[in-house]
């Protein structure tokens, strides 16, 4: 069994999301970010349940698969008996025709067995990719919420009629950006739950792409937070 700190705790991820939602509501009760976080909690709960389901083997499907393979083997044996290879004369054309038929049957049977044996894995893989798509969409929505939170507006810059309304203080803007960064990091952890429970190479690669996406978006946010700190220091120095 894996150690206590060798795998992610789904319950702790959801609990962290709920605490983050409470923190956002405390500072920005009417913000769209709070509603996005609430939706992320629901999506996270769905992801936790789905990841646990995907980790469990489907014994009913595996039993049906084994029955199909056995039935196929029986059909192959019956087909070989039907060919009556022992009755074929030694002429080359007849022998080649019989061998060709036998090889074709083996190829078709092997392809069918491979398709059936990998069908469960491919169905689970598609479910994971659909779930990751939902999480990816939420990551981009969070990025849109922080997009107009420009630290340079804290300077005495001239606004234009098209400039977005910005009423946050230095501290509020920092907290807002930090909440966005935390939400992105938690999306990455929800994605990692699928990779923990499935050893499929396609799934692991897709999860790694999600980690790269959320890390890149979070890095942009932290650049803004760092800029706010620099502006604060310059303001204090001035």
Nearest to 182 by CA among 63, 1, 60, 21: 21
- To the nearest 10 degrees (0 to 180), the angle between helices 201-237 and 170-197 is 170
**Angle at the Cα of 144 from the Cα atoms of 8 and 164, rounded to 5 degrees:** 145
As a residue count, the chain comes to 238
Rounded-to-integer distance, Cα 57 and Cα 14, Å = 25
Query: Across the chain, what does the average pLDDT equal?
Result: 82
Closest CA to 33 of 190, 142, 133, 130: 142
Question: What are the structure tokens assigned to 191, written together?
Answer: 């994605």
pLDDT given for residue 19 in this prediction? 97
pLDDT in tens, the chain (238 residues): 556 677 888 999 999 999 999 999 999 998 999 999 999 999 999 999 999 888 887 777 677 777 777 777 776 676 666 655 555 555 666 666 666 766 676 777 677 777 777 778 888 899 999 999 999 999 999 999 988 887 766 555 566 666 666 677 888 889 999 999 999 999 999 999 998 878 788 999 999 999 999 999 999 999 988 888 776 666 555 4
Q: Other C-beta atoms within 10 Å of 73: how many? A: 12
Q: Which tokens belong to 35?
A: 């509603």
Q: How far apart are CA 28 and CA 32, in angstroms?
A: 9
Exposure letters 26-57 (e unless 16+ CB within 10 A, then b)? eebeeeebbebbeebbebbeebbebbeebeee
Cβ contact 184:214 at 8 Å: yes
Q: What is the pLDDT of residue 168?
A: 78
Q: Give dist(CA 189, CA 181) in Å, integer.
A: 13
């Amino acid at each position: 069994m894996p150690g206590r700190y060798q795998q992610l705790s789904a319950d702790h991820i959801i609990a962290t999301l709920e605490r983050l939602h409470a923190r956002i509501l405390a500072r920005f009760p009417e913000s769209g970010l709070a509603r996005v976080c609430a939706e992320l909690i629901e999506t996270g709960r769905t992801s936790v349940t789905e990841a646990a389901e995907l980790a469990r083997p489907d014994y009913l499907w595996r039993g049906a698969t084994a029955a199909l393979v056995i039935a196929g083997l029986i059909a192959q044996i019956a087909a070989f008996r039907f060919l009556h290879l022992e009755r074929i004369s030694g002429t080359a054309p007849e022998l080649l025709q019989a061998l060709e038929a036998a090889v074709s049957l083996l190829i078709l049977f092997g392809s069918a067995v491979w398709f059936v044996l990998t069908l469960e894995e491919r169905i689970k893989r598609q479910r994971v990719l659909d779930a990751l798509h939902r999480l990816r969409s939420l990551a981009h929505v969070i990025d849109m919420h922080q997009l107009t939170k420009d630290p340079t507006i804290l300077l005495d810059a001239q606004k234009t009629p098209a400039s977005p309304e910005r009423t946050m203080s230095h501290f509020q803007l920092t907290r807002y950006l930090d909440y966005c960064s935390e939400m992105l990091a938690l999306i990455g952890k929800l994605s990692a739950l699928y990779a923990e429970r499935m050893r499929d190479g396609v799934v692991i690669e897709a999860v790694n792409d999600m980690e790269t996406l959320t890390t890149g978006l979070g890095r942009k946010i932290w650049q803004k937070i760092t800029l706010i700190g620099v502006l604060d220091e310059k303001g204090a120095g001035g």
